């Protein structure tokens, strides 16, 4: 990935391999895809913090699975709409979701540098989850 003339399909393929790594919870491979300086929604987590966040996500949601609904890429960026169908064990995004099977989307942007993710801007569709739970205000 050091060659700037890398063919266009590389970034989408790399991103799919990253999601496959997550879905296999192959944490020893995560360093192939995530940079040491990675930031998530403005938080400078670094690689260890980022991995810890993902490990915790699978702890909180044992049937978590990352599935691409839409994938758009203009190097060095990837934008994905991810579709989730999963069952949090307990509270999720501050909502009483324990044991409830939820369907929701995440629209997320990634910036890559030399083949690794350096910045992530993620928004999860919390309003859709609230609608399923009948929770929180929805005037």
Binding site for a second copy (CB under 8 A): 69-74, 77-79, 81, 91, 93-96, 105-109, 121-127, 130, 135-139
Minimum CB separation from a second copy for residue 27, in Å? 26
88 C-beta neighbours (distance < 10 Å), count: 22
- Of 30 and 120, nearer to a second copy (C-beta) is 120
Minimum CB separation from a second copy for residue 90, in Å? 9
- Of 28 and 74, nearer to a second copy (C-beta) is 74
Minimum CB separation from a second copy for residue 74, in Å? 5
CB neighbour list of residue 6: distance below 8 Å, 6 or more residues apart: none
Pairing of strands 68-74, 77-86: antiparallel
50 C-beta neighbours (distance < 10 Å), count: 22
- Of 25 and 67, nearer to a second copy (C-beta) is 67
Minimum CB separation from a second copy for residue 66, in Å? 16
CB neighbour list of residue 110: distance below 8 Å, 6 or more residues apart: 15, 77, 78, 79, 80, 117, 119, 120
- Of 29 and 115, nearer to a second copy (C-beta) is 115
- Of 25 and 91, nearer to a second copy (C-beta) is 91
Minimum CB separation from a second copy for residue 107, in Å? 4
CB neighbour list of residue 19: distance below 8 Å, 6 or more residues apart: 66, 68
């Amino acid at each position: 990935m050091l060659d700037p003339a890398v063919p266009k399909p590389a970034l989408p393929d790399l991103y799919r391999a990253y999601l496959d790594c997550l879905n296999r919870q192959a944490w020893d491979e995560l360093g192939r895809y995530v940079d040491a300086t990675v930031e998530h929604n403005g938080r400078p987590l670094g690689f260890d913090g980022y991995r810890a966040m993902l490990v915790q996500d699978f702890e909180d949601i044992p049937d978590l699975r990352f599935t691409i609904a839409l994938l758009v890429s203009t190097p060095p960026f990837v934008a994905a709409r991810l579709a989730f169908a999963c069952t949090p064990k307990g509270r999720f995004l501050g909502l009483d979701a324990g044991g409830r099977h939820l369907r929701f989307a995440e629209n997320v942007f990634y910036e890559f540098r030399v083949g690794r993710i350096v910045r992530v801007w993620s928004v999860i569709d919390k309003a859709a989850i609230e609608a399923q739970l009948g929770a929180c205000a929805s005037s």
